[in-house]
Amino acid sequence: MVTGMFALATVLLLLLLGLGAAQTNDGRPADLAATETSPNDLSLLSDEELLAELERRKAELALPADDSIAAVEVVKPSFAYPQNDTIYLTVNETVPAYPIDDTPFQEPVTDFVRVYDGQFVTVSNDSGTAVCEPFFLAGWNSWDVTRVPRIQSYRSMNGQAALTQQLQTASQSGLNVMRAWAHTIDPSYPVMKSPGWYDEEGLKALDFLLSEANKYGIRVILSFVDNWKYPGGVDQMLDWSETAPNRTMPLPASLLEGGDYNQRSLTSGEKNYIVERHSLFYTDEGARKIYRDYVSTLVNRTNVYNGKVYRDDPTILAWNLINEPRCETWLIPDCDDKLQSWIESESAFVKELDPNHMVTVGEEG
């Protein structure tokens, strides 16, 4: 595991946070960053290369040096946390802050976004007549941020403070959309533990994200399931399915921990098995049932922080059906048809439950 790790956000966000090297007894980092770059970007660099890249990006963005970082006092939030929730800030905690400027935060989210005549617009019905205003998207991808509110310690703040700071910085920088997963790929912080069994703390972390994002005028795109990783992914749902064939090839331990396949260590037979089994997700009824139960649970959830039902919350800009779907036609000739059929059926299912929000596939590009 890389012991020196940094999270670098987009240029507009101006957010550079360092990650400590300490580890817990199970080998996981004691401190986790609020945002993470793509695993294809920085995760393969050495500590020295990461430090060099951090300094390069600082110079490129003209950020202040470390010794110019201000510290602001953070007090316990004024809004009520759920009973027995002990991960809120203490009175004496401080949050490091980059002194951007005196730009005010954006106004809280109040209106839904629709597509009208090929353009994104906000729709207000307060007057009884729909009023459409153009909505221009400027955002970033903070894919596994859903687990962040549950992190107990991040430098001199906890995960909730780190997430709030990110949203504040984004709001001041003019960003208005965050894309995130409505699950996690970290088995230590699950949202769904098994079919129909949900971790309430994981759901409350998602509640916190939406509640805080709303305060600072940030809308959120949420993805229901991941194509790549095992925890929170399609292969996990397949293994849970009562109608899918039993697995005949053991799952590598690295996948259970949220890692990736080591392609170089796989034989052609193993690769074919992985691809063929993965494709079953789009047709297996047991997996579809688990997926739909997850969708229904989220769409109908009431946020414990602000009392809003997700389907009625304009903070959610849109739903992604799946993060970066794949179905390999080089091995399964009709795989594209299976994927298209799944997209059509599940988008209709989501819209039936939630007519208020846009639904997207979640593909790249």
Report residue 300 as tokens.
């109908």
**pLDDT given for residue 263 in this prediction:** 75
- CA-derived radius of gyration, the chain: 21
Task: Tell me the pTM.
Answer: 0.73
**pLDDT given for residue 132 in this prediction:** 84
Nearest residue to 45 via CA among 9, 37, 24: 37
- Strand, coil or helix: 43: coil
Nearest residue to 318 via CA among 142, 145, 179: 179
**Residue 129, burial from CB neighbour count under 10 angstroms (0-12, 13-18, 19+):** exposed
Q: Which residues of 39-71 are buried (b: 16+ CB within 10 A; e: fewer)?
A: eeebeebeeeebeebbeeeeeeeebeeeeeeee
**pLDDT given for residue 266 in this prediction:** 83
DSSP string, 74-109: ----SSPPPTT---SPPTT-EEEE----SPPPPPPP
Instruction: Answer whether 233's CB lies under 8 Å from 209's CB.
Output: no
Taking the chain (365 residues) in runs of 10, the rounded mean pLDDT of each run is 36 34 39 35 56 60 40 33 37 46 88 93 75 92 91 79 92 96 91 95 96 96 95 95 95 78 82 94 97 98 97 98 93 94 98 97 88
**pLDDT given for residue 21 in this prediction:** 37
